[in-house]
Amino acid sequence: MLPIWGSEFALGRAAILAESLVVCPLSAFPQGNKVSSHRSCSDYDIMTKEVMKSVDKKKNSYRKKEDSSKRPHKGPVTHNKKRKEPPGNKQEKSSEPVWSKSKKKRMRGLKAKQAKQEASASSPSESLPKADHKDSTAEPKKQDQTMSTLQKSFQDRLSGSRFRVLNEELYTQPSWETFQKFQANPELFDQYHAGYRKQTEQWPTNPVHVILQKIQNYSSQSKSKTPLVIADLGCGDADIAQRLREDTNFRVHSFDLVAKSELVTACDMSKIPLESQTVDLAVFCLSLMGTNLADFVREAFRVLKPTGQLFVAEVRSRFESKESKDDLLEHFLQVMEKLGFTCRKTDRKNKMFFLMEFEKNGNRPDPKLEYTAKACIYKRR
C-alpha cells in the first residue's frame, strides 16, 4: 500500500500525488515470482522516496508561483539571505554598549549638533573672522609667552633669594672675609648687584643721583682751579665715575670688592690703595657694610684732605627701630664725631634713605673704637 499523507497538504496537493503515481506506476516496480500481490519493505521504501522527491518538486514550484503572484514585480526576485559576518564584526557588535531608547535619542541629538557645528566651521560663508583666525594661530606664541613669563618669575625669585643671602653676609661678616669670598667667586658680585639694582629701581629716588647733584653743587662753590678728586668707596656699577668721566673738573677713584670695569679698583674698604690726604670728597653710598665699619671711616679720614668732605647715604631702617627707644641715628653721629667727622647737614626728606654731609674736624680718630650698625635685612616677598 501507498503511505497515507496527513492533513498538512491541502486537497489541491492530492493532484500532485496522483500525477506522481502516474509517473511512477506500480508496474514499474520489480515483482518477484513468489510474491506478486505483496511488495517487500525495500520495494516500498524505494517507491516512497521516488514519490516524495516528485512531491517536493511540485510543492516548491507551487510555492514559487504563489510568492511571485503576491510580490510586486519590480525586478528579478532575490531571496533575503542573511550574510555571514566575519568573527571580527561579531566581536565589535558584542563590545558595543547597550543603550536605552532615551539615551540613543540623546546621542543622535549630540551627533546631529556636532555635525552641524562641523559643517558651519567648514563652510566659507560662516567662517570665523580674521581676528579669531589670528588668535588661533597665535596660540603657540601665547604658550611660549606664558612659559617665558613663568621662567622669568622663577628667575626673579631665585635672584631675589640669592640677593638676600649675599646682602645678609655683607652686613654680618668683616670686610676682609667678604673681600676674599668675592675675589674667589666674582659671579657673586654680579648676583648681588642685580638684586641691588632691582631694589633701588623701586625707590622713588636713587641716592646716587642725589649725591651726584651734591657733588656738582660742591664743585661750583669751590674756588680751586684743580680737578675735584673724589673717592667712591663701594661704588658698585661706578655710576658716579661714568657720569663724570667726560668732565675735566672731576677725577673719580672707584673702589669695590670686584673690579667689573676699568674704572673700578678691587680692594677691601678697610685698606684703600690711595695715598694719605689726596682726596677732596669721599662717598659711602649704601656701602657701610660689614662688622668693622669703624675701620672704613678711619680709612676715609686718612685719604681725605684736612678740609675734605664725606657724603654718607644709608637706608633709614638701619637707624630707626620700633623695638628700641634709643635714637640710633644720633648714636651714629656721635660715633662719627669720635672718628674725626662732624655732621654739617642731615637730609631726612627721602622715605627710603638718610643723606648726611660730614667734614673733618681735625681730631684724630679713636683707633680702638668699634662700631657695628644695624644690618639692613630685606624681607622675603
Geometric angle at alpha carbon 261, from 258 and 176, rounded to 5°: 15
Greater pLDDT, 171 or 66: 171
Please say whether the dihedral angle defined by the alpha carbons of residues 221, 222, 225 and 226, taken in this order, is positive or negative.
Answer: negative
| Average pLDDT of span 54-70 | 66
The pLDDT tens digits for 78-125 are 555 555 555 554 444 445 556 677 777 778 888 888 887 777 766 554
Q: How many CB atoms lie under 10 A from the CB of residue 222? A: 13
**Which of these, 137, 194, 201, lies nearest to 167 by C-alpha position?**
194
**26, pLDDT greater than 60:** no
Q: Kindly state the cell numbers that stand for 318.
A: 638701619
Top-confidence range, 99-113, 138-152, 267-281: 267-281
**53, pLDDT greater than 60:** yes
* CA atoms of 50 and 53, how far apart (whole Å): 5
| Mean confidence (pLDDT) of the chain | 78
Length of the chain counted residue by residue: 381
The pLDDT tens digits for 229-257 are 999 999 999 999 999 999 999 999 999 99
Instruction: Compute, in degrees rounded to 10, the torsion defined by CA atoms 315, 318, 322, 324.
Output: -160
**147, pLDDT greater than 80:** no
Q: Kindly state the cell numbers that stand for 249.
A: 673738573
Residue 379's region, left for phi above 0, alpha for psi from -120 to 50, else beta, is beta
Which pLDDT belongs to residue 125? 46
**154, pLDDT greater than 60:** no
- Say if strands 228-233 and 250-256 run parallel, antiparallel, or are unpaired: parallel
- Say if strands 304-315 and 250-256 run parallel, antiparallel, or are unpaired: unpaired
What is the residue whose three cell numbers read 566659507? Answer: 124
Burial class, 163, CB count within 10 angstroms (exposed 0-12 / middle 13-18 / buried 19+): buried
CATH match for 172-360 among 3.40.50.150, 3.40.50.2300, 3.90.1150.10, 3.40.50.300: 3.40.50.150
Close Cβ partners of 113 (under 8 Å, ≥ 6 residues apart): none
Q: Kindly state the cell numbers that stand for 55.
A: 512531491
Greater pLDDT, 98 or 314: 314
CA 376 to chain CA mean position, Å: 33
The CB-side HSE value for 236 (13 A sphere, CA atoms) comes to 20
CA 66 to chain CA mean position, Å: 80
Q: Kindly state the cell numbers that stand for 91.
A: 566581536
Contact 174, 291 (CB under 8 A): yes
**310, pLDDT greater than 60:** yes
Q: What amino acid is encoded at 293 in this protein?
A: L
Q: Where are the domains of the chain?
A: 11-61, 172-360
**222, pLDDT greater than 50:** yes
pTM (whole model) above 0.85: no
Span of 179-193, 250-264, 323-337 with lowest mean pLDDT: 323-337
Top-confidence range, 50-59, 81-90, 319-328: 319-328
